[in-house]
Every structure is written in C-alpha cells, then in structure tokens.
Structure 1
Amino acid sequence: MFTGLIAELGSVESIERNDSGARLRIAADVGGELSPGDSIAVSGACLTAVDPGPGGFSADVMNQTLDLTALGALEPGSRVNLEPALRASDRLGGHIVQGHVDGTGRVAGIAADGFARRVRVELPPGLERYVVEHGSIALNGVSLTVAAIDGRIVEVSLIPETLERTTFGTITAGDPVNVEVDLIARHAERLLKGFEVSNGK
C-alpha cells in the first residue's frame, strides 16, 4: 500500500526488452533503502525491487503492464515518480493508493494559475463515475485533490512543491498518465450493487 506522496524522482537508466516484458533499471537514492522483493510504486504502478542498492534498483514489468499503463512509453532518461511501500510507522499523508493502475489517461491541457498550475487529464472511459469534486485521485502515483470534473476531464491544481518533486513539473499536453481512482469509491459501488441485488432491483 502507498500514500501517493512521492519520495524521490528517479531516472530510467536502461530498458531491457524480453519476451515476457522488460526489465527497467532506475537510478535513485531510494534504492539504498530497499531490500530485494520490496514493493515500490513507479509512477503509480506497484513493482518489485530487484538488485536494489544505493545507486538504484531494477524492476521487471510484464507485457500486460507495459500495454495498460504509461510505463510502456518510458525510455532511457525518462523521469519517474517513486514511492516505497507504506510502513506501519509511517503517516498516511495522502490517501490510500494500491499501485494498481486502473487505466491510462492523457494530459488534455495545462494552464498557469498564479503560483500554481492547473492540469486537465482525460480519463479512460468508465473511470469518471468514481471521481468526485474535492475527492482524491492518484495520477502517475501522486495523491491529488480533484478541483473540477467535466465528463471524462478531471482537473487538478498543482502547487510549486508538487511540480518540483514530481514528473508534473515537466509534463506536456498529450502525455500519458497512470490513473488510479479512489479505492473507497470502488468498494462503495460494489456494496451498492450487492444491496440492489438483495432487494430485487
């Protein structure tokens, strides 16, 4: 489990393709805090650390993950948001993030808003029903508050701290974005469907 609070910006050193997917090598100081087999969120996708060390770590990514997430668009030199798995002693400063990407959205627009920046993201079809204004959403692994939603377009407002510490500082229109909707919204929908079935609706 994660919180959506990014620990570090990493850099993709290499991508080794194989029949099953790819092995990423990511340069990051956080590698020194990891043990083999630890979970780490890479731009919102939960991966398993391989050969971690002070200079970084590797991670194997299956073809399905490459196809269904923005990780498939990575190339050497790409920056990625990194967050190690939550420990029992950590504060839950963002919201509950599983690292299970629900789909890939696209940056639909970026606009300056005083010292902040407003980013509009087009969600994959069907995910908009899990998003509410002022609710939580994870975009590229970052826990954000929804400022506005219009159909499939969700808008978030990013402060300078977020822009400096995450990949949102260099994101551009058209870029793919990993989207994970609020887990509570999904559970609420499931419970309501069960209630309707039990009542013959």
Structure 2
Amino acid sequence: MFTGIIETLGRIHEIQKERDNLHITVDSSISSELKIDQSVAHNGICLTVVAIKDSLYTVTAIAETILKTNIGSWQEGDIVNLERAMKLGDRLDGHIVQGHVDQTGKCIGIEEANGSWNFTFEYDSIFSNITIEKGSITVNGVSLTVVNSKTNQFGVSIIPYTFENTNFKSFAVGSLINLEFDVIGKYVSRLYNK
C-alpha cells in the first residue's frame, strides 16, 4: 500500500530482457535502505526488489505488468518516481494507492499557469475507468486531485514542489503515463454497474 507521495527520483541504469520479463536496475538515493523482497512503486507500478548492490537495485516486471503499464517504453537514463510502501501508523498524506496500474494514458496538454502547471490527460474508455471532479487520481505514482473531469479525460494542477521533485518536469504532449484510478471509486463504480 502506498500514498502517492513521491519519496525520491531514480534513474534507470540498465534494462535486461529475459523471455517475457524485464529486469530493471535503478540507481537511487534509497537503494542502501532497501531489502530484498521489499515493494517499491516505480511511476506507480509496485515492483519487488530482487537484488541490491551499492546505489543500485533491481526489480523484475512480468508480461502482465508490461502489458498494462508504460514500463515497456522505459529506456536507460529515464527518471522514475519512487515511493516505498507506507508504514502502518504513518499519516496518509496522499490517498490510498495500491501500486496496481489500471491503464496508461497520454498527456494531451501542458499549460504554465504563472507559477504552477496544468496538465491534461486522456485515456481509453475500454476499461470503464472514471474520474470525478476533486476526486483522487494517481499519475506515474503521484497522488493528485482531479480538475476538469470529462469522459476519458481529466486535468491536474501541479505546484512547483511537485513539478521539481517528480518526473512531471519531463512530460511532453504525447508522453505515455501510468494511471491508477481511485480504489474506492472503482469499487463504487463496479457495484453501481452490476
């Protein structure tokens, strides 16, 4: 379980393909604090640490993860948002995030707003995911509040701290991003549509 509050950034050091799996080695400031078998969210994707050496650690993504996320498009040198699982008893500063990406989306608009940024994203309706105005959404693992909720489209407003301390600063129109929709909203939607 995560909160969507990004702890630090990591840089993709190496990607190795083995059959249907990807072994991804990340260089990060938290590597020495990790342990084998620990869950870490990478751009919102919950992955298990399988190896650690110095400032590097390795995680493995299987075919299902590659299919449902943007992990297959990652390249060596890319910057990823990192968050370790929340500790029981800590404040829940973002919202309940599982680290289970529902689908990818695409950045379709970026507007600088005199000290903040407005991003607009579009997603495919095939999975029947929804957003609601002022509801929660996770974009590349970042817990955000939805603005301008529309069918298959929504916006978020980003403060300077979030822009500088996440990989939002590397987004461009056309960037493929990971989306995890609000877990409570997903259950309500599922019950309502029965």
What range is the shorter-chain TM-score in? over 0.9
Could you say if the C-alpha distance between residues 191 and 69 of structure 1 is closer, same or farther in structure 2, counting changes exceeding 3 Å? same
The corresponding residue for 1:61 is 61
Q: 2:134–2:147: 8 Å Cα contact kept in structure 1?
A: yes
Structure 1 residue ranges (4+ consecutive) displaced by more than 2 angstroms after TM superposition: 126-130, 189-194
**Equivalent residues in 2 for 1:118-129, closer than 5 Å:** 118-126=118-126, 129=129
SS at match of 1:162: helix
Supply the AA of the counterpart residue of 1:121: F
Partner of 1:19: 19
Partner of 1:6: 6
- Aligned AA (1:51): A
Query: What amino acid does structure 1 have at the position aligned with 2:166?
Result: T
Superposed counterparts of 1:28-67, under 5 Å? 28-67=28-67
CA deviations on 1:166-195 (whole Å, 9 max, x unpaired) are 00011111010100000001111233345x
3-state secondary structure, aligned to 1:64 = helix
Query: Do the aligned residues in 1 keep the contact of 2:129 with 2:181 (CA within 8 Å)?
Result: no
CA shift at 1:133, angstroms? Answer: 0.6
Q: How does 1:175-186 map to 2 (within 5 A)?
A: 175-186=175-186
> Deviations along 1:103-148, whole A, 9 cap, x unmatched?
0100001011110010001022156653101110000000000111
Q: Which moved more, 1:165-174 or 1:144-153?
A: 144-153
Which residue identity lines up with residue 165 of structure 1 in the other structure?
N
**CA contact 2:101–2:178 (8 Å) conserved in 1:** yes
The amino acid across from 2:27 in the alignment is A
Partner Cα distance (2:25, 2:31) in 1: 11
* Bigger-Rg structure (1/2): 1
Identity across the alignment (%): 36
Unmatched 5+ stretches in structure 2: none
Distance in 2 of aligned mates of 1:191 and 1:13: 43
Structure 1 spans left out of the alignment, 5+ residues: 195-201
Indicate conservation of the 8 Å contact 2:130/2:151, yes or no.
Answer: no
Which amino acid in the other structure matches residue 41 of structure 2? A
State the superposition RMSD in angstroms: 1.4
Equivalences, count: 194
